[in-house]
Amino acid sequence: MTSRSQPHFARLYVHAFASAACVLPMASYVLATFRWSPADIGVGAAALGISGTASSPLWGRLDDRTRWAPRAAVLLMAAAALAAALTLGRAPHLATWIALALFGVGEGPMDALLTTRVLASRPHASRLGALRAFGSVGWVLGLVLAAAVLTLWPGHAEWVLVVAALTALTSPRSWGERATPSIRATTAGSSSDAVARPPLPLKPIAAVLVVTLPTSIGMSALVQFSAGWAHQELSAGPLLAVAPIALSALLELPVLPWVDRLARNRRPMLVAVLAGPPLTLATAILAVFPSIASILAVQGLIAISFSLLFVGQSRMLAVAVPADRQASAQTLGSALITGVGGLVAGLVGGRVADAWGYGGLLGCLSALTALGGAVGAVALLRAHRRENVAIPCRHGRASCTVADNR
């Protein structure tokens, strides 16, 4: 892809994230207006996470082999959002949970599939964060649209889901060509060569999971529960409930390009580990000082944490696998990290909020991200030591360091 593809990338990010913003952070608010309990809301959020976790690797394998997988995922998002709107308040909870799960099937791989194409494009690979900022623009747009619908038609909260469907349907049809060697190009139609390829290296992907999963859980919980928390316990209206999430996304616009520059000369693991402390501090502040003012005040910390996590995680996965399997790696990594994070945040977070209140949930998130930061620091230190351990020397000595052999 050339520089002409940048506006196309921008539009894909805007539409995909605007549709997701009408569902992921707003589901708790919309379901709360129908008097769903926090536990039932948590099941709905978990349905999104479970379906995305289970399906994302399959979308990645399809994307490594076909051109139509991303567009099919977008169409599924639209159909599922419309189904959720039609069932909410008119059918048992199970029907809406199923519709939300189908939305998760389509939405789950979106970020990873877009990341794959950006990293595969030489003109844009070093600008991953800057292009991902258009996703933040779309996120804000989706939140504004959702808040406007809830303000103008408060008795029809399900119409937010219709807006999500329309936003997905109006996204660009073409996702462009994959710039990295595809399975079609490398095998020249030979199925035996495809079978002979080595399996996707799971150990490096698991190493990414160890570093980033705690922060991902904390981030997912904030996205899923903050609007419902503000509405139920802080008496916030729709505009005020989504204002913090929108503010965080706006702050990502300057932070993501800054993280791009930070990541150019630093280990991806270091970038990912640095995402933990800001989120730990933010959730601690919210747990101790629960108020709309506190929510607004910590959004800068949340934007920094998200930006570091996204760029660090994406680049860790990119260096872990061959170029022609990036979609499989990014979607599998997203399923295991972001998907599992959303699942745990939804199921466990809802139960914790039921038992201890939202303040207890935020305190648990602060402790979890602090523990995750400590684990990440240990992993980073071990990786640094492994790189400097004595190895066979090319200069005739008994041993030397990695730096000596360069």
Q: What is the CATH number of the domain that holds 50?
A: 1.20.1250.20
In a domain, 397, yes or no: no
The whole domain housing 93 covers: 5-176+202-387
* Burial (CB count within 10 angstroms: exposed 0-12, middle 13-18, buried 19+), residue 159: middle
């601690």: which residue's tokens?
A: 284
In a domain, 343, yes or no: yes
Q: In whole angstroms, what is the distance from residue 25 CA to residue 244 CA?
A: 11
In a domain, 396, yes or no: no
In a domain, 398, yes or no: no
In the chain, the number of structural domains is: 1
Quick one: pLDDT at residue 123? Answer: 65
Residue 391 pairs in a beta bridge with 400
In a domain, 16, yes or no: yes
Q: In whole angstroms, what is the distance from residue 318 CA to residue 149 CA?
A: 39
For every one of its 406 residues, what pLDDT tens digit does the chain have, with 9 covering 90 and above?
Answer: 444 556 777 888 899 999 998 898 788 788 888 888 877 887 887 788 778 778 888 888 887 777 777 888 889 999 999 999 999 888 888 889 999 999 989 888 887 788 877 777 666 666 777 788 888 888 889 988 988 898 888 788 889 999 999 999 888 876 655 544 433 333 334 344 444 455 666 777 777 888 888 898 998 888 778 777 777 777 777 777 777 877 888 898 899 888 988 888 888 888 989 999 999 999 999 989 988 888 889 999 999 999 999 888 888 888 777 766 777 777 777 777 776 777 788 778 888 888 888 888 899 999 999 999 898 888 888 877 877 664 555 555 544 544 444 4
In a domain, 130, yes or no: yes
Give just the sign of the alpha carbon dihedral 338, 339, 340, 346. Answer: positive
In a domain, 181, yes or no: no
Q: Which two tokens stand for residue 57?
A: 């690797």
* Burial (CB count within 10 angstroms: exposed 0-12, middle 13-18, buried 19+), residue 283: buried
Q: In whole angstroms, what is the distance from residue 84 CA to residue 165 CA?
A: 10
In whole angstroms, how far apart are CA 107 and each of 69, 227, 337, 406?
A: 12, 20, 15, 44
In a domain, 187, yes or no: no
């194409």: which residue's tokens?
A: 117
